[in-house]
């Protein structure tokens, strides 16, 4: 079961009763709304003007065929103004050492959505001897890039760029500061241990040690130690309460990361590990009864380097089960090499 399916399963189970009560409340509110509505006097709606200033629209615009003063016209005019942005991009491909990636094919796609067209324009460009490349292909809403070269793997998480003015942080090209896209030059994969393990455990206030190699909980040692703290009573979507997790790497350290960054990490970090991480699920700050976080982990004094996703679903009742899932890989040879996870 994937981590997404794991989370969704436990959210669904815990939400069933909440949904039933919510439906009953909605039905009651609808009945009350109908009753009160029948008691209200009718009112004449206000006239709303849909006229727009067309002086700034070129005669050659696709909007010319749409009658002015209509909601369809206004919608098309808005989309055209916001989403028809010149798609210009200045980029550079670099490997993990900062060296240029020359003669790489870059597949490009421009999303066009302007009220008249809804399509994707596809084409490709090639990086030069210094890794530089440029895109200048009309107008659109966004640009997606996917570089390819034999012996390399994509090592950047950001390859889609939003030009639309609908986004406050829309992308703005800069010829003097090309956007760097990282590629990983493969040097030779090593065998990795796959980690995909589910646990259904009775809640305990004591730390639990997990062994990545055997996939079992152990009294001491292993690779990761987890301590979960929760209050008395029910902890659920209907009754949220603060709870927390303390995660410790056994004889090593850990680094928080994201699912996307973990996917394109082909070597474990050399340093910056912390011995433990304290994470709080607080009701006043994006509370959830499911914890989901990716980590880079060094354990057993540097003998094992892992990248994995940890998911924990807290027990509803104090005597209920805690559901824990690990998904990822580990190099058990004392090496930081994760190249076997790169697309071949």
What is the per-residue pLDDT across 163-211, written as a single tens digit (0 to 9) for each? 999 888 999 999 999 999 999 999 999 999 999 999 999 999 999 999 9
Report yes or no on 50 lying in a domain: no
210 or 54, higher pLDDT: 210
pLDDT at 323 (0 to 100):
97
User: Could you identify the residue written with the tokens 């009160």?
Assistant: 36
Q: How many domains does the chain have?
A: 2
Q: Check if the beta carbon of residue 247 is closer than 8 Å to that of residue 312.
A: no
Domain contains 39: no
Same domain, residue pair 138 and 207: no
- 215-234 pLDDT per residue, tens: 999 999 999 999 999 999 99
Same domain, yes or no: 203 and 293: yes
Q: Are residues 201 and 164 in the same domain?
A: no
Beta bridge partners, 324, equal: 199, 312
Domain-ending residue, one of 120, 155, 185? 185
Q: Give the C-alpha separation, 85 to 82, whole Å.
A: 7
Residue pointed to by tokens 């550079």: 92
Same domain, 104 and 177: yes
What's the gap between Cα 33 and its chain centre? 40
Answer whether residue 4 is part of any domain: no
Look at residue 95 in the predicted model and tell me its pLDDT. Answer: 98
Burial class (CB in 10 A: 0-12, 13-18, 19+), 12: exposed
How many C-beta atoms surround the C-beta of residue 18 within 10 A?
13
Please check whether residues 242 and 163 belong to one and the same domain.
no
Residue 46 has pLDDT above 50, yes or no: no
Same domain, 162 and 229: no
Pair (106, 248) in one structural domain: no
Asked which of 32-36, 190-194, 261-265, 328-332 is least confident by mean pLDDT, the reply is: 32-36
* CB atoms closer than 10 angstroms to residue 63: 22
The answer on 238 and 119 residing in a single domain is no
Question: Do the domain assignments include residue 174?
Answer: yes
The per-residue pLDDT for 122 is 97
SS3 251: coil
Residue, of 124 and 14, whose pLDDT is higher: 124
CATH number for the domain spanning 167: value is 2.60.40.10
Q: Rounded to the nearest 10 degrees, how much is the dihedral formed by the CA atoms of 72, 73, 79, 82?
A: -150
The reply to whether 131 falls in a domain is yes
> What average pLDDT score do residues 294-298 get?
98
**Domain final residue, candidates 126, 152, 185:** 185
pLDDT greater than 70 at residue 26: no
Last-in-domain residue among 185, 220, 250: 185
Does residue 51 belong to any structural domain of this protein? no
Residue 328, in any domain of the structure: yes
For residue 83, the tally of other CB atoms under 10 A from its CB is: 21
**In this structure, are 175 and 88 located in the same domain?**
yes
Q: What CA–CA distance (Å, rounded) separates 196 from 264?
A: 19
Q: Cα separation of 195 and 51, whole Å? A: 61
Structural domain including 121 reads 80-185
Question: Does 152 reside within a domain?
Answer: yes
Does residue 122 sit in the same domain as residue 247?
no
Q: Are residues 311 and 249 in the same domain?
A: yes
Give yes or no: residues 160 and 224 share one domain.
no
Q: pLDDT per residue over 96-138, tens digit each? A: 999 999 999 999 999 998 888 899 999 999 999 999 999 999 9
């Amino acid at each position: 079961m994937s981590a997404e399916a794991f989370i969704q399963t436990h959210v669904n189970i815990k939400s069933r009763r909440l949904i039933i009560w919510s439906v009953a409340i909605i039905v009651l509110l609808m009945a009350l709304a109908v009753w009160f509505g029948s008691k209200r006097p009718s009112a004449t709606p206000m006239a709303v003007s849909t006229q727009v200033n067309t002086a700034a629209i070129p005669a050659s615009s696709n909007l010319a065929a749409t009658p002015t003063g209509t909601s369809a016209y206004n919608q098309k005019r808005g989309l055209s103004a916001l989403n028809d942005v010149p798609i210009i991009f200045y980029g550079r491909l670099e490997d993990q050492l900062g060296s240029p990636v020359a003669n790489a094919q870059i597949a490009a796609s421009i999303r066009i959505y302007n009220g008249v067209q809804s399509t994707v324009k596809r084409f490709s460009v090639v990086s030069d001897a210094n890794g530089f490349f440029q895109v200048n292909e009309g107008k659109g809403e966004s640009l997606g890039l996917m570089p390819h070269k034999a012996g390399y793997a994509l090592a950047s998480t950001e390859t889609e760029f939003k030009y639309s003015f609908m986004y406050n942080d829309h992308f703005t090209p800069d010829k003097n500061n090309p956007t760097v896209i990282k590629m990983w030059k493969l040097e030779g994969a090593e065998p990795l241990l796959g980690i995909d393990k589910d646990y259904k455990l009775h809640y305990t206030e004591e730390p639990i040690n997990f062994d990545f190699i055997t996939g079992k909980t152990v009294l001491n040692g292993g690779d990761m130690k987890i301590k979960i703290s929760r209050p008395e009573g029910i902890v659920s979507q209907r009754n949220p309460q603060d709870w927390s997790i303390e995660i410790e790497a056994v004889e090593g350290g850990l680094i928080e990361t994201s699912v996307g960054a973990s996917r394109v990490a082909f070597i474990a970090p050399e340093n910056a590990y912390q011995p433990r991480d304290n994470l709080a699920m607080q009701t006043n700050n994006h509370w959830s009864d499911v914890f989901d976080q990716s980590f880079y982990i060094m354990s057993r004094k540097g003998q094992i380097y892992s990248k994995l996703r940890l998911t924990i679903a807290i027990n509803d009742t104090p005597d209920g089960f805690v559901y824990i899932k690990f998904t990822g890989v580990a190099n058990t040879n004392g090496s930081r090499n994760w190249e076997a996870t790169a697309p071949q």
